[in-house]
Amino acid sequence: MIKMLRVDHRLIHGQVGFTWTKFLEADCILIASDDLIKDELKMSAMKMAKPSGVKLVMKNIDDSVKALNSGVTDKYKLFILCESVEDMYQLVKRVPIMTEINLGGMKNGSDRVQVSKAVHLSERDIERIRELLADGKKLTVQLVPDDSATAVEKLLP
């Protein structure tokens, strides 16, 4: 069962590794990322950062789609992380059961607009988000479980 799909460029860190995982009662974290799989050092860091007692799986987007659609992940209380809106978009478009997305930390940049305290979106990100909203997906911004979730459409420029 998918407990949450979250976009957070930091992937596993304090908020994600402990606060969200505990809140969701997740027993498995799936990081779906084409870039992470190419970076052994970052993958090692994710292994060290994961909470004890929680399984960690790191796959590229294609393999994540196959696993999620095959049902092999159904036995887990699954917390899915993507490090970019683009990765999340590719996953959501190809895994129909995903209807809710949490936007967490997304880094600032000269080509990005700040829509909340920790969410900075590029023009392409905004296009992708608007398309998912038009498809009936629910996207919210919520840094930690104690914060109120805000519908992303209220924050978009």
Summarize pLDDT for 57-69 with one digit per residue, the tens.
999 999 999 999 9
Q: What is the pLDDT of residue 15?
A: 76
Beta bridge partners of 121: 113
CATH of 2-154, one of 3.40.190.10, 3.30.930.10, 3.40.50.970, 3.40.35.10: 3.40.35.10
Q: What is the pLDDT of residue 77?
A: 97
Show the CA angle centred on residue 84, arms to residues 81 and 150, nearest 5°.
Answer: 75
How is the beta sheet containing 150-151 ordered, strand by strand?
55-59, 28-32, 78-82, 2-7, 100-103, 138-141, 150-151
Tokens of residue 127, six digits:
């296009």
Q: What is the pLDDT of residue 14?
A: 81
Q: Considering the entire predicted model, what is its pTM?
A: 0.95
In eight-state DSSP terms, residue 154 is G
